[in-house]
Structure 1
Amino acid sequence: MSEIQISTLALILSIIPVTLHGIEVLFPMQTRWIVNWVLPFFGLKTPSKSSALTRNEQINMIDAALEAAPEKKKTNAKDYLFLLLFEQRQGAIGFTAVAIGAIYGMNLELAARQPLHLVFGVVAVLMMLVNANQAGFLPFFGKHPKISKHGKNVGIVFTPFWFAVALLNYLAFTYVSI
């Protein structure tokens, strides 16, 4: 593979997350779509309308979490729930920015892509580490207290994906650095 092909492949692979998460910039509750129609495949199951969460059920779950908070801490509980959905949107913004940068970068000469490969390489390494952690491979790298079976399987599948993205970005970055 040529240097420009490696660079272009690294950029294309960096676009993939926005295809699932981009909509969450506008609609953070759309994570329901991923839970309903994507994650079942990570449990080797076919998605089913009968087990799919509705928006009203999501709201009820959020309301139940708020109700479970001690009365004196309701304000903090509301802020915590707000922050979860706000950070969902911020993550989607990050994926959207990466996708736009990758699309733009494919129109640049190889040397001009170097900053993109640095940033996308760092993103890929951190995503690889987080996925490896939720798969159980790196228990020292933080703790997610509610990893589901499907979440663990996502980590198992996406750790090598993010490794490949990191490696391609590293190669593309070092090609232009030499």
Structure 2
Amino acid sequence: MSSTFNSTLGLLLCLAPAIFHTVEVARPLWARWVVNWVLPFFAPGLPRPSKALTHNDQIGMLDAALDAAPKEKGPAGADYIFLMLFEQRQGALAFIAVAVGVLYGLTLPLADRHALHLVFGVMATLFALVNANHAGVPGLGHHPRVSRNGRNVGILFAPFWAAAAILNYIGFSN
């Protein structure tokens, strides 16, 4: 494989999060699209409308979380729910920024892509470590609620992101 091909593939792999999460900028609860129609494949299984979360289900779950907070800590509970959805939107914005960087990088000659490969290589390395952690490898924090499908996502995407990191390293070093 040529250096340009490795570089291009390394950049293109970094588009994956934007493909799945961009809509969450406008509607953070649309993360349910991934929950309903993507994660079931990791069970393994097929998505079923009868098991799909609805908007009302999500609002009920958020309300239940708010109701579970001690009364004297209600404002902090409300801020916590706000922050989770706010971070969902910011994460989607960051993925859009990555996508813009990828698309711009594809227009550059190989020699001028090094800064993008550095940033995306670090991102891919950290994503690989987090996914490996969700798959059961200790280190890089603790997610207290990894679901079965979440573990399976970690098993699949740790190598995906490791490959993206390696390709971006190759692109950076060329």
TM-score, scaled to structure 2: 0.98
The answer for the alignment partner of 1:83 in structure 2 is 83
CA offset digits 1:131-153 (Å, max 9, x no partner): 0001001x232110000000000
Identity of aligned residues (%): 56
- In structure 1, give the amino acid aligned to 2:164: V
The within-5 A match list for 1:157-172 is 157-172=156-171
The within-5 A match list for 1:6-155 is 6-137=6-137, 139-155=138-154
- In structure 1, give the amino acid aligned to 2:75: T
- In structure 2, give the amino acid aligned to 1:61: M
Aligned partners of 2:126 and 2:139: how far apart in 1? Answer: 14
Moved segments of 4+, more than 4 Å = none
The 3-state SS of whatever aligns with 1:53 is coil
Aligned partners of 1:100 and 1:27: how far apart in 2? Answer: 20
Q: Kindly state the Cα deviation for residue 112 of structure 1 after the two structures are TM-superposed.
A: 1.1
Q: Kindly state the Cα deviation for residue 25 of structure 1 after the two structures are TM-superposed.
A: 1.1
Aligned partners of 2:2 and 2:26: how far apart in 1? Answer: 38
- In structure 2, give the amino acid aligned to 1:13: L
Aligned partners of 2:75 and 2:82: how far apart in 1? Answer: 11
Q: Kindly state the Cα deviation for residue 53 of structure 1 after the two structures are TM-superposed.
A: 0.5
Q: Unaligned 5+ residue runs, structure 2? A: none
Aligned partners of 1:119 and 1:27: how far apart in 2? Answer: 27
Aligned partners of 2:117 and 2:139: how far apart in 1? Answer: 27
CA offset digits 1:39-84 (Å, max 9, x no partner): 0000011100000000011000000000000001001100000000
Aligned partners of 1:160 and 1:11: how far apart in 2? Answer: 16
The 3-state SS of whatever aligns with 1:31 is helix
Q: Kindly state the Cα deviation for residue 109 of structure 1 after the two structures are TM-superposed.
A: 0.9
- In structure 2, give the amino acid aligned to 1:151: G
Q: Work out the number of aligned pairs and report it.
A: 174
- In structure 2, give the amino acid aligned to 1:83: L
Q: Unaligned 5+ residue runs, structure 1? A: none
